[in-house]
């Protein structure tokens, strides 16, 4: 998608979170028609409350299909998946239920976004997902989280090739640690000490540039301030 984003219909998944909300703000400012998919509508920031939204758990493909159908009457030019969860701890310590939630949201959710998005995003459009730098890492006490992100990364890489004939760009965003506060909302465990991360606004601006320029991969080293 090399043209301006003005007038483009873009769906933000995880639109009530820090990154999702920032995507909504910057895209709206660029003239895009933004709608949100969220797990909890009451968490949508007040300044975004007027945007069209639908409630969904992206781990449920049937529910995601239904939610997208309510937003796609005029067509969809792009989707950005900013939903995600995190947990910390040695693999043998993290409860099975937590591992399942990591994979349901981070891995299965991403696969559902790709599967459902392929049917509603128009030719020349895009599907972007924030798999994060964890997809490329092997870090002690983050094994379950990294594994869920690695699975998402694999799905994105394959989908990029599968959706090329439909002229849909798949953008895998593996940004470095970003100051969203997600580590303080972990499903399990305590985050290790981390260096200062990217500002959410900087990450979002870089991704939007990649979307406009038709980039297909944003590894961690693509983000430099």
**What does pTM read for this prediction?**
0.95
Q: Is 103 helix (H, G, I), strand (E, B) or coil?
A: helix
Return the percentage of the chain with pLDDT > 70, whole number: 98
Please, which pLDDT band fits residue 3 given cuts at 50, 70 and 90?
low
Closest CA to 141 of 111, 183, 182, 174: 183
Q: How far is CA 181 from CA 17, 31, 75, 114, 194, in A?
A: 10, 28, 33, 26, 12
Q: How far is CA 50 from CA 35, 46, 47, 78, 206, in A?
A: 10, 8, 8, 20, 26
Please state the domain extents for the chain.
Answer: 9-216
So what's the pLDDT on residue 225? 55
Of the ranges 71-75, 115-119, 132-136, which is most confident? 115-119
Fold of 9-216: Rossmann fold (3.40.50)
Closest CA to 147 of 107, 193, 98: 107
pLDDT, tens digit, 9 for 90 and up, residues 47-100:
999 999 999 999 999 999 999 998 877 789 999 999 999 999 999 999 999 999
Task: Write phi, then psi, for 141 (nearest 5 degrees).
Answer: 70, 15
Strand segments, DSSP code E, in the chain are 9-13, 33-38, 52-55, 76-81, 121-130, 169-173, 217-218
So what's the pLDDT on residue 73? 78
The order of strands in the sheet holding 9-13 is 52-55, 33-38, 9-13, 76-81, 121-130, 169-173, 217-218
Distance CA 115, CA 131 (A): 16
CB atoms under 10 Å from CB of 170, counted, come to 24
Q: Is 101 helix (H, G, I), strand (E, B) or coil?
A: helix
């Amino acid at each position: 998608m090399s043209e301006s984003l003005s007038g483009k219909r873009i769906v933000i998944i995880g639109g009530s979170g820090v990154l999702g909300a920032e995507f909504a703000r910057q895209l709206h400012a660029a003239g895009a028609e933004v709608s949100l998919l969220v797990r909890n509508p009451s968490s949508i920031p007040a300044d975004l409350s007027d945007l069209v939204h639908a409630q969904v758990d992206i781990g449920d493909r049937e529910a995601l299909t239904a939610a997208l159908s309510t937003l796609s009457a005029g067509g969809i030019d792009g989707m950005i998946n900013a939903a995600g969860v995190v947990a910390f701890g040695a693999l043998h310590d993290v409860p099975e239920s937590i591992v399942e939630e990591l994979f349901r949201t981070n891995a299965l959710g991403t696969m559902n976004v790709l599967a459902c998005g392929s049917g509603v995003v128009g030719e020349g459009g895009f599907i972007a997902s924030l798999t994060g730098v964890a997809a490329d890492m092997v870090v002690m006490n983050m094994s379950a989280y990294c594994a869920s992100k690695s699975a998402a990364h694999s799905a994105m890489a394959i989908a990029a090739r599968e959706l090329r004939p439909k002229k849909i760009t798949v953008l895998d965003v593996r940004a470095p640690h970003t100051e969203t506060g997600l580590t303080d909302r972990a499903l399990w465990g305590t985050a290790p000490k981390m260096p200062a991360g990217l500002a959410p606004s900087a990450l979002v601006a870089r991704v939007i540039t990649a979307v406009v320029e038709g980039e297909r991969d944003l590894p961690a080293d693509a983000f430099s301030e």
